[in-house]
Amino acid sequence: MKFWNSSAKPPAELRYYQPMTDSFTSESPEVAVLVPCFNEASAIASVINGFREARDGITVYVYDNDSTDDTAAIARASGAVVRTELARGKGNVVRRMFADIEADIYVLVDGDDTYDPASMNSMIDALTDNHLDMVTGKRIEQHQDAYRFGHRSGNRLLASLTRLLFGRQSIDLLSGYRVMSRRFVKSFPAVSSGFEIETELTIHALSLNLPIAEVATAYRERPADSSSKLNTYRDGVRILSTILLFTKEERPILFFTVLSVLLALLSLALGVPVTIEYFETGLVPRFPTAVLAASVMMLAFSSFVTGMILDSVARGRHENKRLAYLGLPWLRDRRHRGPSNP
């Protein structure tokens, strides 16, 4: 994965795709800015105004996640299209947004006014110039309080784990600022319900080996009267669980081989002392331990065989997801454009 500074043109070596066809260059692509919100009354107006000033002709959609403050009313007064998702959780909101909204390019951003709206144009340029499916905003802190230590260290740990498991670099795994093609959005399964949705977006792109990149963007602290909804430890555990779950789903041979090795080592640790004692005395005084060691070794072999079987299943699922992805146009062709959003 590559990234470049948002103030500069993407380097020439990243332009490895043909330019967009004439059906897109003759008319600007339709850009939808998606803002999931929960109790962001103090920040939402600034977010909406910032993105509308950064680029003409965009539509800002605010999905209120059953807020208890005036987020929806303020967003509507600021000119956004406001809708409601009652099922709490960012993942639930993103899934609803991706299903409801029709556009060519989708900009997903948090409603807490921590991301720079001006970076959107550089991210869109990176997407269109290089025919990418997702561009992630790599957060560059503008203030020491913008990025809490626990969040920063946790992000690095999870990004390193993702790189180890999926073999490609992901610098800012948990960034909430992303620009995506229609093809990516409409083929994304979106099974997460909470903040782990960012992890799912990244792993989905990595597992299908989709063309993605990163653009550096300013990341500032929240407004004084706004509070983070992210719990460092609780949501960190959920994100880690999501990574392990998708490892099992996308790379079962790796997951179950590691499990098999661990079980085999446990079996050896239990069984070797019993075996040595048998050769020395001809007796097995710790018979239950011997039975346990043999049983654990059988589980180790079963785990390895399970991984081999599920690897074939995962390959079929991977091919089906790839075909679903390829069955959609990168952007909507205006000669066959569907109805506009209500």
Of 174, 177, 140, 139, the C-alpha closest to 33 is: 177
pTM for the whole thing?
0.78
CB 231 within 8 A of CB 185: no
Q: How many CB atoms lie within 10 A of CB 335?
A: 6
**pLDDT string in tens for the chain (342-residue length):** 555 554 455 444 343 333 444 334 446 899 999 999 999 999 999 999 999 999 999 999 999 998 999 999 999 999 999 999 999 999 999 999 999 999 999 999 999 999 999 999 999 999 999 999 999 999 888 665 545 555 566 667 777 777 777 766 666 888 899 999 999 999 999 888 888 898 889 989 988 889 999 999 999 887 766 666 666 667 677 778 878 887 888 889 999 999 999 999 999 999 999 999 888 888 888 889 999 999 999 999 999 999 999 999 988 988 999 999 999 999 875 544 555 565
| Alpha-carbon dihedral sign for residues 248, 2, 109, 219 | positive
Question: What does the alpha-carbon distance between residue 99 and residue 286 come to, in Å, rounded to a whole number?
Answer: 60
Question: What does the alpha-carbon distance between residue 197 and residue 192 come to, in Å, rounded to a whole number?
Answer: 5
Question: What does the alpha-carbon distance between residue 200 and residue 247 come to, in Å, rounded to a whole number?
Answer: 11
